[in-house]
């Protein structure tokens, strides 16, 4: 059950309506809600607008392959046990070409085996950063070799952004669509 108080479109400020319209474009609005973290962020229209813009950059305009981007998102969603995040991005990871055994291992919190070199590099980078709050020289060097310095910076920014997404989803207990099965057990 979600924790956010629903605000009908008509009751939103003009600024909030404008942000709602921009974010809702190209998304499915159900019962006046955009879903995911977006409705929560809309309580501050500037936050919503900036966060959505940053998310679009991370998902679609980086130097890193889409399959790796989705793997990093799944690793972050699993770390935070973010139900909606996993629900939304597991299909995108499959569509981007991430193997099912990798998706299932990440979901279980396990190191996937086997993995391609770039998958192993992003797994080590994200996992070490989430769990130890730093990365070793060896993990950094491996990630830099796989993605370049720019790519490493983009991946770190991406998992920071999806940490914000996951914390928003978890704090406001954002509901999955009706009939959807939760990917993780309730805490």
Residue 123's pLDDT is what?
98
Q: Provide the token pair at 86.
A: 């996993």
Phi-psi region of 2 (alpha: psi -120 to 50; beta: other; left: phi over 0): beta
Residue 1's pLDDT is what?
58
3-class DSSP string for the chain: CCCCCCCCHHHCCHHHHHHHHHHHCCCCCECCECCCCHHHHCCCHHHHHHHHHHHHHHHHCCCCCHHHHHHHHHHHHHHHCCHHHHHHHHHHHHHCCCCHHHHHHHHHCCCCCCCCHHHHHHHHHHHHHHHHCCCCHHHHHHHHHHHHHHHHHHHHHHHHHHHHHHHHHHHCCCCCCCCCCCCCCCC
Residue 32's pLDDT is what?
86
Residues whose CB is less than 8 angstroms from the CB of residue 89 and which lie 6 or more positions away in sequence, other chains included: 70, 73, 74, 77
pTM, entire model: 0.94
Q: Provide the token pair at 94.
A: 């499959």
- Closest CA relative to residue 79, chosen from 147, 165, 4: 165
Which pLDDT tens digits describe the chain residue by residue (187 residues)? Answer: 588 888 989 999 999 999 999 999 988 888 888 988 999 999 999 999 999 999 999 978 999 999 999 999 999 999 999 999 999 999 999 999 999 999 999 999 999 999 999 999 999 999 999 999 999 999 999 999 999 999 999 999 999 999 999 999 999 999 888 889 999 998 7
Q: Which domains does the chain have, with CATH numbers?
A: 9-58 (no CATH), 64-171 (1.20.1290.10)
Q: Taking all residues of the chain, what is their mean pLDDT, rounded to a whole number? A: 94
CA distances from residue 42 to 100, 107, 109, 157, 163 in whole angstroms, order as listed: 34, 29, 32, 22, 18
Distance between first and last Cα of the chain: 14
């Amino acid at each position: 059950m979600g924790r956010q108080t629903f605000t009908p479109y008509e009751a939103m400020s003009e600024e909030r309506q404008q942000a709602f319209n921009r974010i809702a474009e190209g998304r499915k609005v159900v019962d006046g809600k955009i879903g995911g973290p977006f409705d929560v962020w809309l309580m501050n229209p500037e936050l919503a607008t900036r966060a959505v813009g940053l998310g679009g950059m991370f998902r679609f305009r980086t130097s890193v392959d889409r399959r790796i981007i989705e793997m990093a998102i799944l690793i972050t969603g699993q770390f935070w046990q973010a139900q909606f995040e996993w629900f939304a991005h597991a299909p995108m990871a499959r569509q981007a070409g991430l193997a099912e055994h990798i998706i299932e291992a990440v979901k279980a919190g396990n190191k996937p085996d086997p993995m391609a070199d770039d998958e192993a590099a992003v797994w080590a980078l994200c996992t070490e950063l989430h769990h130890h709050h730093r990365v070793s020289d060896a993990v950094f060097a491996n990630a830099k070799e796989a993605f370049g310095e720019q790519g490493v910076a983009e991946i770190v920014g991406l998992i920071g952004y999806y940490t914000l997404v996951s914390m928003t989803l978890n704090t406001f207990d954002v509901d999955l669509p009706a009939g959807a099965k939760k990917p993780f057990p309730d805490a």
